[in-house]
Structure 1
Amino acid sequence: MSGLKLSHVVSGAIAVLLGYTSSVAIIFQAIDVLGLTQAEANSWMLVLGLGMGLSTLVLSLRFRMPILTAWSTPGAALLVLSLDGVSLPEATGAFLVCGALLTLTGVTGWFEKVAHLIPDAIGSAMLAGILFRFGLGVFSSMEDNLPLVATMCATYLAGRRWFARFTIPAVLLVGILFCLATGAFDTGATFTFTLAKPVLTLPEFTLTAAIGIALPLYIVTMSSQNMPGVVTLKAAGYRPPVSAAITVTGLTTLILAPFGGYAFNLAAITAAICAGPEADEDPATRWKAGVVTGVVYCIVGLLGAAVISLFLIAPQALVVTIAGLALLNTISGALSTALADPGQREAAVVTFMTTVSGITFLNIGAPVWALVLGGLTAFVLRPRRVAG
């Protein structure tokens, strides 16, 4: 880790901030549906943080790429709808089945073969569509807190003009100072900083839970999380070890499922932050931002729900704006790659618009349908071969 830069630390911190604030509320809803005790809830938050942190550390250090992992956000939303009336042991059994399916997917290698067939233009268009709402959030958040967002945007422009290497750290610092000065943080919250403890739940395997929970959880995790995660790294110029990464996330799920680690997968949004030029101008050393992310995830996990509450006291406009500004370069780069080839341009536009639409059919999210429709468009509009 020699040569660690401020940009690595800031990118890692922003990735963790975005990872928690964007979806931790959904995790709390799933915990509430299961009726967990406080100790069991703390165990969930402990292993989810450690699972993301340790798997990110292993993959980033082993392959020298910013390979970030995450809990399955659409999977958590699925659990909110499907766990009603299900006991915790039954749910744990379903989590283990999902982990076994993820591990099997990584070991067999079929998913990697499919992922490498995606054309660069279509993959980049899907990435741009996934990140589009974060860039758009910068401007929509002006309605909530115009002075804060305007100040951060002005800092961003000044940074890009005069101190490009420190633009995002400066924007984050200015945003925090502005919130402190204006009292925008919720300072009335109370916290107890104690280490969380794992609580073991013995699994109970039932066919109903396997079909109704494990299989849908596996499908949404693969389609809505792992596929975008692979595309994100490819669009950043990396050739990710897809099978090895899926295997690691599957094994992490298998090990931590009895303690609340319901499903882990490759990250897309947070990975885009650490794999982009804001993390480091040199793609070969951006993996250090991934390592920082892993360490911070572990720390947050060890301190349990108390530290997670700290992420929730920040005004939403601060989180949305810093994430959007940090991703602007990545969005522009993805759009540039997507539209560079005139022969693939229409397919890329279809992919982009399908992703932005957010459509969902058969429990399969927009990114996968974007690849299907974009690929179909590219196939239909491919140039005809002239007989020689």
Structure 2
Amino acid sequence: MLKDLSVQSLFMGLLAAFVGFASSFAVVLHGLQAVGASDAEAASGLMALSLAMGIAGIVLSAATRLPISVAWSTPGAALLASAGAMAGGFPVAVGAFLVCGVLIVVAGLFRPLGRAVAAIPAPLANAMLAGVLIGLCFAPVKAIAFNPWLGLPIALAWIVVGAFKRLFAVPAALAAFALVLAFGVDIPPGAFSAIERSLLPSATFVMPAFTLAGLVSIALPLFIVTMASQNIPGIAVLKVNHYHPKPGPLFAVTGLFSLLCAPFGGHGVNLAAITAAMCAGHDAHPDPARRYWAAIVAGIAYVVFGLLAGAVTAFVGLAPPILIEAVAGLALVAAFSGSAMAAFHEAETREAAAITFLVTASGVTFAGVSGAFWGLLAGGLMLVLQRFVKATRKPS
């Protein structure tokens, strides 16, 4: 097995891990805090997710000899930000994370459920995701309005670097955020001592609580978003690169690791899509049979990043929240544009997708249930009605 390791796979694995972590950890922190996590609980969740996706990626890639990349659910974290805090606080969110993990395991082991998720019309799933993401995508503009001297450097770094190399746009924005924090924000005395103390990893156990509102507002939309925008595309990326694993067991394993990290604040892990393309592509190694080492190296790097999650969270906490939201929003621009284009591409489903998007993006809750669920329901009813009318209408 070690004979398959190469410098090329080592480099690509490290790059994939850096891009995967740096491009979206801000989204994860913001999403966890939005549903009621304290700074310590958010740091614990970030650590649990990093460890889970690192160990899962190592185990799956070593067992299958395929480049199986695992990531946290970035769209899921954005969903948490739009859902907001539930009555009962973060324990209710943790209960929802557990339910979502169970659903993913069942979807992997019980084929009819997996097929049912896959049968959700792609335009509606993408419209719901676009509605979830758009709120955070406004954050860079709001950051500039909050303080142009702080917000503009972050946005300009993303724009300029992205014009030359899109892969490094978000890391560049993150570097600009660090510089803005170092030179433009008044840091209280003793802050760096607190960061040093945070270098030691610390897990915070959260006793889960289960409510109907948490189930409908977080667990079900999180399950749908994770399956439709992460797990299924992750399998597609592998197939494009001529790998054909059985999807069910992979889904079940990611669901199991999601269950393990949920009590410590992690919202869930899943098959990767973007970093999977890096580890499974030609740049990882000319020989497809040796590319699995890129995913293993990425997994090892995720474990290291996870052990530093406390220090990362403490450092980020020194800045005004709108600045880290701006980095998160920039990290989601590509996901938003892709989901919006897929949602409104087909004329036949455009109106139903628009209803889904608008209800979700409104951020309005009904009966304590977030707009993501109601958006998908409203769009689904609209699509069913349109198809019923079309089927019953007699040709003139």
TM-score, normalised on structure 1?
0.69
Per the alignment, residue 222 of structure 1 pairs with: 219
Per the alignment, residue 50 of structure 1 pairs with: 51
Q: How does 1:349-388 map to 2 (within 5 A)?
A: 349-361=354-366, 364-382=369-387, 383-384=390-391
Letter in 2 for 1:312: G
Per the alignment, residue 150 of structure 1 pairs with: 152
Per the alignment, residue 18 of structure 2 pairs with: 9
Q: Distance in 1 between matches of 2:294 and 2:370?
A: 28
Gaps of 5+ in 2: 1-8, 238-245, 285-290
Which shifted more, 237-246 or 104-113? 237-246
Q: Distance in 1 between matches of 2:294 and 2:360?
A: 27
* 2:107–2:251 contact (8 Å) kept in structure 1: yes
| Aligned-residue offset at 1:331 | 1.6
* 1:99–1:254 contact (8 Å) kept in structure 2: yes
Letter in 1 for 2:227: V
| Aligned-residue offset at 1:136 | 1.0
SS at match of 1:350: helix
Specify whether residues 366 and 196 from structure 1 end up closer, same or farther in structure 2 by C-alpha distance, changes over 3 A only. same
Which shifted more, 53-62 or 285-294? 285-294
| Aligned-residue offset at 1:227 | 0.8
| Aligned-residue offset at 1:375 | 1.9
2:38 maps to 1:28: yes
Q: Distance in 2 between matches of 1:371 and 1:356?
A: 11
Per the alignment, residue 179 of structure 1 pairs with: 181
Letter in 2 for 1:231: A
* 1:64–1:284 contact (8 Å) kept in structure 2: no
Letter in 2 for 1:261: F
Q: Distance in 2 between matches of 1:170 and 1:48?
A: 23
Aligned length: 359
* 1:156–1:325 contact (8 Å) kept in structure 2: yes
Specify whether residues 43 and 141 from structure 1 end up closer, same or farther in structure 2 by C-alpha distance, changes over 3 A only. closer
| Aligned-residue offset at 1:143 | 2.5
Per the alignment, residue 141 of structure 1 pairs with: 143
Q: Distance in 1 between matches of 2:231 and 2:102?
A: 26
Q: Percent identity?
A: 25
* 1:95–1:214 contact (8 Å) kept in structure 2: no
Specify whether residues 57 and 124 from structure 1 end up closer, same or farther in structure 2 by C-alpha distance, changes over 3 A only. farther
Per the alignment, residue 329 of structure 1 pairs with: 334
Q: Distance in 2 between matches of 1:265 and 1:123?
A: 19
SS at match of 2:138: helix
Specify whether residues 82 and 175 from structure 1 end up closer, same or farther in structure 2 by C-alpha distance, changes over 3 A only. closer
1:345-382: CA deviation from partner (whole Å, max 9, x where unpaired): 11111111121122444665332322222122122223
Letter in 2 for 1:381: Q
| Aligned-residue offset at 1:142 | 1.9
Per the alignment, residue 318 of structure 1 pairs with: 323
| Aligned-residue offset at 1:133 | 1.1
Q: Distance in 2 between matches of 1:150 and 1:58?
A: 42
* 1:30–1:83 contact (8 Å) kept in structure 2: no
Specify whether residues 238 and 44 from structure 1 end up closer, same or farther in structure 2 by C-alpha distance, changes over 3 A only. closer
Gaps of 5+ in 1: 32-40, 85-91, 204-208
SS at match of 1:27: coil
Specify whether residues 266 and 221 from structure 1 end up closer, same or farther in structure 2 by C-alpha distance, changes over 3 A only. farther
Letter in 1 for 2:28: G
1:244-277: CA deviation from partner (whole Å, max 9, x where unpaired): 45523443355567xx436753469xx78x4699
Specify whether residues 344 and 141 from structure 1 end up closer, same or farther in structure 2 by C-alpha distance, changes over 3 A only. same
Per the alignment, residue 264 of structure 2 pairs with: 261
Q: Distance in 2 between matches of 1:287 and 1:20?
A: 29
Q: Distance in 1 between matches of 2:345 and 2:100?
A: 39
Per the alignment, residue 288 of structure 2 pairs with: none
User: Cα RMSD (Å) of the superposition?
Assistant: 4.9
Which shifted more, 336-345 or 374-383? 374-383
| Aligned-residue offset at 1:79 | 8.0
Q: Distance in 2 between matches of 1:168 and 1:195?
A: 27
Specify whether residues 119 and 319 from structure 1 end up closer, same or farther in structure 2 by C-alpha distance, changes over 3 A only. same
| Aligned-residue offset at 1:117 | 0.8
Q: Distance in 2 between matches of 1:127 and 1:232?
A: 8
1:261-301: CA deviation from partner (whole Å, max 9, x where unpaired): 36753469xx78x4699x89979979999878755653354
2:218 maps to 1:213: no
SS at match of 1:381: helix
| Aligned-residue offset at 1:238 | 5.2
Letter in 2 for 1:265: G
Q: Distance in 2 between matches of 1:119 and 1:287?
A: 32
Q: Distance in 2 between matches of 1:45 and 1:169?
A: 18
Q: Distance in 2 between matches of 1:256 and 1:164?
A: 31
1:189-215: CA deviation from partner (whole Å, max 9, x where unpaired): 2231564477999x9xxxxx9xx6287
Which of residues 117, 120, 126 in structure 2 aligns to 1:118? Answer: 120
